Amino acid sequence: MFITKSNKKNQWQISGYVSKTFIKHGQYGPFGMFVVAIDDGYYSKKEQKFIERTQFIAVDVGKLKDLPPLAIGDYLDLEGKFEIEQWEDKETGKPRTEVKLKAMKLNTHIPAGICQLLKEQGYIKPPQQGAKAPQPGGQQSQKQGGNQSAASPQAPPPQYGGYNQQRGGNST
């Protein structure tokens, strides 16, 4: 018999490509955050086609003390929990709240170089269109998004998913 204190769950799981890192290493391991680009496409009945859309999710390093060095373009599959931070704004005096994603477990890490090899071998579908990462202050990033996801060599090439890490304009 399995007994728990509560049937409520506070967990998430995401997979995507690293688009930015703000990680430092200290006495007790890594700390900081990184941004994961996640494909979030959908089929539009009105337009009769698949619409590509990329979301950029900030993730706190959390309890990932054995986190390998991350580079832009690395593929990650992560699990974690939501945390709510509350504080009082120093300028306005108003209460503020923010929901943060805190990483608890790294399930998969595929370095960008391996992802490139998988793409060249046809196991990751090349991008079809770009998506720009939002920058603080409303500026747009030079990183371009597209269609690719990590796949095992036994799996057929996927039809959608991923983030392309090439600089400059749209790649084809």
Degrees, nearest 5: CA angle 152-153-159: 70
Q: Is residue 157 part of a domain?
A: no
Q: Is residue 68 part of a domain?
A: yes
Measured distance CA(88)–CA(70) in Å, rounded: 33
Taking the whole predicted model, whether its pTM rises above 0.75 is answered as: no
Average pLDDT per consecutive 10 residues, the chain (172 residues; last block may be shorter): 67 92 88 90 88 90 87 93 90 90 92 91 66 42 40 43 41 40
Q: Residue 52's closest CA among 44, 61, 62, 60?
A: 44
Task: Say which CATH number the domain at 59 has.
Answer: 2.40.50.140
**Domain span at 108:** 12-114
Handedness of CA 146, 147, 151, 153 (dihedral sign): negative
Q: Is 158 left (phi over 0), alpha (psi -120 to 50) or beta?
A: beta
